[in-house]
Structure 1
Amino acid sequence: MFITLVTLLEEVKDILKLHGQMLNTLLKNDSMPIMAIPDGVVFPLANVEDVIAMNEKCSDPEFMSAVVAMVGDIGGSSLEDATRRMMKFLMVPELQRHNELAATFNTHSQSCAIKHRQQDTLEVLDLSYNLLEENPALLGGLEKLSTLILDFNNYNSHVKFPYMPSLTALWLNKNKISNLPIIVEEICSKFPNIRFLSMMNNEAAPSYFNGGSLTQYVDYREYVISQIPSLEVLDDTEVQEKERELARKTYRMQRIREGSRKRKELHR
């Protein structure tokens, strides 16, 4: 029953990102008025019955558009702050904490965003700022998806993606990825045509963003580039041919040394 509200939030966030509406409302505070509430609507919603009634009203496209425009005018200092303020406006705290809402927002936010678009033609999908952590199996049906943005979620190194040969760009910035070999292996096996990858602000991707040293940053880049030869851009930097060749040589020598060490251990 909460899916309509989550879909509404997804639409509002798209508006904020695509049109920069947040720039105009950045300095607003909670005491400032927003657009008029459409007739027949009382916010915040106080109970499940209110949510059911809202779902029915939102079946009218004009009504839904009016609510989206009204909530989109709330604004915030960031996308995360705007989402928090929108939730505060839409429903009372007790309803926000309702277990069903929490489960719906975490588990079904992907499906809400996808349902509202054409699955057979969708090429770019942004699911950032959704606190997602479950395996995104729903994405497997997007046969033409080329760009997937999953920034600011809770994915870890063991996330399992569906096989998506159409995907060429993957953004995983600011998640909870700590094991580089595991996530790189998953990316290699599930996205064979990937060309653009960004994993900044993860423990597994040391850089100046998270306190990593220059040596750690170089080692990180060399490893990823050596394992994913198709990469053209890693994080915010284009992969140069010299860098690609050095990465290939470095990890080829490492594999040779490891093979030699294993053979010696077998003959002891």
Structure 2
Amino acid sequence: MSTPQNIYDDPDFFAGYRDLRTHDSGLNGVLEMPALQALLPDLAGAHVLDLGCGFGDFARFARERGAASVTGVDVSARMLREAVLRTHDPAIVYVHGAIEAYRPARMFDLAVSSLALHYVEDYAGVVRRVFDALAPGGCFMFSVEHPMCTAHPVGWVKDADGTKLHWPVDRYRDEGPRATRWFVDGVVKYHRTVETYVGTLLAAGFALTHVGEPGPTPAALAARPDLANEKRRPPFLLLAARRPA
């Protein structure tokens, strides 16, 4: 297995990402996170693990919803420094390290990962460790960039006027790393099929409880008509599973 990527500590990437999240102008803010939050169980008294916690937004949200504690894990020191600055809560603990290398020291009721596991090479290993870290009946839910997007990450094909014509898909069953540009060149994401994402959960012993492809709601389209293009291809895959009691 290769050394985990840490693109978020690149100063140019970090600056672009921080601006995106601060102004909540990305698709995760209007499509992915509302869909994930709608799936959450009752968090009162829950111990929560957040893999790829970034600025700690979900950690703080979980505490507002009554979680007893949140452990956030992220490979980026820059992200965690920002998270600490934004967090004033001793029940939230941030751990600097790669998701692939994290070994939980306690049992959790809920594990969440928002748009992080497509950066992880050893997805199956992470799934197994999350299963072992969850209390019986515990939930694991995560979002990733949709495999329709990671398969051939060249973006929209446009005409001479910049009109989006179509989103190409190629090499869908050829799983593995894909290099693309997002703020900077050389961002590596690991393409997997929907079959692999779901089958790995089942093989680890999870019971699948939700398969979703979050798209724009009517309210979101009314506020932002430009989101209509997000109905032409699914930007995200959202999965939820439960460790059997």
TM range (shorter): 0.3 to 0.5
Which one scores higher on RCO, CA 8 angstroms, separation ≥ 6?
Answer: 2
- Report which of the two structures shows the higher radius of gyration computed on alpha carbons: 1
The structure with more helix, counted as a fraction of residues: 1
Higher-strand-fraction structure: 2
TM-score, structure 1 as length reference: 0.31
